[in-house]
Amino acid sequence: MSAALELRNLRYRYGDGTEALRGISFSVAEGECVGLIGPNGAGKSTLLLHLNGILPERLDGAPAVFVFGEPLTEAVLDKMRRAVGVLFQDPDDQLFCPTVFEDVAFGPRQFGLSEAGVAARVSAALKRAGLEHFEKRSPIHLSHGEKRRVCLAGVLACEPRVLALDEPTSDLDPRGRRELKELLRQLPVTKIIATHDLELVVELCSRAIVLDRGEVVAQGPSASLLADEPLMLAHGLEMPHILRHHHPHGG
């Protein structure tokens, strides 16, 4: 069976010459939840923006991203954007409508659904994101955590098979973080989560991939990878607290 996601030697250079991705290859199996970790500037956000063709700006090179075995090319871009939902790091980049309803409806409206079909998708997604009764609110007047959940509802309303999340728990208070974690745990789709929240990785992701300077420097089961203190420190990370209770080397 083909992987839900496969990257084959993905490279990307920004217009100013910054080499953000220097040949990334890995795959994610269907249903898997993978953590993408690494210091600031490692290339995590840039990588996620490639998963549904937001980057590169032109898709005329050799395909480097494969979704359920199919190469991501210009011809299948619409289909790929339905299959892979990307939650941006900054909610303000994703919210642009006067009401929460309109924002969450934006994606499903591109699919040619009836108005009733769109409304059903919106209310199911809002419910899932814990935002019932938020339909008429204005996104700009919500708290940061609520905005993030509206963005997530917008992604979920498209019913993607793969979810790519960029720092989903940053700026959330402990309750918001706990609720989001539960929500993600219950979503039965393939997930790739870029985050500095290493406890979230340990708790939700069976596998983690460490990125540094645009390259994959390590990957493996989250618990053992993140317990490798020298590896963590070498890449600007820290062994998460919850792993400190185990003493793998008997110390």
Residue ranges in contact with ligand ADP by CB under 6 A: 14, 16, 18, 20, 38, 40-46
Q: What is the Cα–Cα distance from 99 to 111, expressed in whole angstroms? A: 20
* The total number of residues written for the chain in this structure: 251
Whole-number minimum distance, CB 154 to ligand ADP, in Å?
A: 21
Whole-number minimum distance, CB 141 to ligand ADP, in Å?
A: 28
36 vs 172, beta carbon nearer ligand ADP = 36
Q: Which residues pair with 11 in a beta bridge?
A: 22
Apex CA 248: angle with CA 246 and CA 251, to 5°?
85
Name the phi and psi angles at 119, rounded to 5: -60, -35
24 vs 105, beta carbon nearer ligand ADP = 24
Whole-number minimum distance, CB 192 to ligand ADP, in Å?
A: 13
Whole-number minimum distance, CB 38 to ligand ADP, in Å?
A: 6
Transcribe 137-157 into DSSP letters. Answer: S-GGGS-HHHHHHHHHHHHHT
38 vs 139, beta carbon nearer ligand ADP = 38
14 vs 96, beta carbon nearer ligand ADP = 14
Peptide bond into 221 cis (omega under 30): no
